[in-house]
Amino acid sequence: MNPARQIAVAIISATVLLLCSGPVAGRFGQHDGDGDMGEELGFHPIVDPYKRELDFRVKRATPPEDTTSQKNQVICMRVSPSLPLPNSNANFTFGQATIHGWAVFYKSQHSMAFVKPKCVVPGHVLVMPLKSRKRILDMQSDELADLFLTSQRVQRGMELFHGVSSSMIAVQDGPDAGQSVQHVHVHIMPRRSKDFEENDEIYEELNNHDKGPAVQWRTKKEMMIEADELRQFF
C-alpha cells in the first residue's frame, strides 16, 4: 500500500472511531461478538432493506476496497437508551388528555412513544416529553435532546416495521401552528408512494384527521394490539 493510501485509511479509521465514541452504535450486517454482551454495551444491529437511502454514510465510513475491513460497513448514531415500560394501568398527562400505560411502546429517560386513537397514515405514532411542556421553548436541553433522539429511533423502527423508506416528521409548536394538545409532541408518520394523491395533502389531513363529529376513532383493543406488537419489535 502506498503512503497516500495508508494515510487515507488512517484518517477514515479515526473518523469511524470518533463516530462510534457515543453511547450507542448502530451497525449494518453481522459482526464478531454480536449477541448479549454487545447488547449490554449498547450496540444494536440494524437491518434495513433500504440501504440505498444511507449509502452516503456507509461509503464515508468504509475503507478502500483492498483492506480487510471493507465488509464491515459501520454506521454509528447516538440513540436514547430505552427504559422499562410503564404498567398498563399507569396514566400520563398529555395536555388536556391522558395517555394510558398500555398505549406506550417505548420509553426513555425523558420521553415516551405511544400509539394514537386516530392515525393520518398506518403507523402514525407520537413521541412526547414525560414532563409537561407546552412548547419546545419551554424544554430543558437534556429533555429536548432526548425527545429528538427518541424520535429518530422511533422513526427508524417504524420504517423497518412497516417496510417503508420514508417518513414525515412534524411538530406543531403553538396554537397558530395547529397545535391542539398543549403538550409538545412529535408526529412520526411512515410514508408510502402515492399514499396521498398530492404529497402535501398530508398536512391538511394532519390538521383535520381528529376533529369533528364524523371522526372514526380506533377501539382500545385495536390500539392495544398495535402497542403490543411494537413493544416486541422495539
Catalytic position from the list 44, 185, 187, 209: 185
Would 69 be classed as within a structural domain? no
Q: Which domain holds residue 51?
A: 3-60
Domain harbouring 137, CATH code = 3.30.428.10
Q: Are residues 162 and 228 in the same domain?
A: yes
The answer to whether 65 and 72 have CB atoms below 8 angstroms apart is: no
Domain count for the chain: 2
DSSP secondary structure letters along 156-217? HHHHHHHT-SEEEEE---SGGGT--SSS--EEEEEE-TTSSSSTTHHHHHHHHTT-STT--P
Would 56 be classed as within a structural domain? yes
Q: Is the pLDDT of residue 147 over 60?
A: yes
Q: Are residues 48 and 148 in the same domain?
A: no
Q: Are residues 216 and 116 in the same domain?
A: yes
- Between 112 and 42, where is the model more confident? 112
Would 146 be classed as within a structural domain? yes
**Out of 38-42, 162-166, 186-190, 192-196, which region has the weakest mean confidence (pLDDT)?**
38-42
Report how far residue 114's alpha carbon sits from residue 124's, in angstroms, rounded to the nearest whole number. 10
Q: What is the pLDDT of residue 212?
A: 86
Report how far residue 43's alpha carbon sits from residue 40's, in angstroms, rounded to the nearest whole number. 7
Does the annotation mark 183 as catalytic? no
Average pLDDT, the chain: 77
Would 221 be classed as within a structural domain? yes
Would 190 be classed as within a structural domain? yes
Q: What is the pLDDT of residues 74-132, one digit of tens each?
A: 444 455 678 999 999 999 999 999 999 999 999 999 999 999 999 999 999 999 999 99
Quick one: cell of 160?
A: 423497518
The dihedral sign for the CA sequence 7, 12, 13, 14: positive
Would 86 be classed as within a structural domain? no
Q: What is the pLDDT of residue 52?
A: 38
Would 215 be classed as within a structural domain? yes
Would 40 be classed as within a structural domain? yes
Q: What is the pLDDT of residues 154-185, one digit of tens each?
A: 999 999 999 999 999 999 999 999 999 999 99
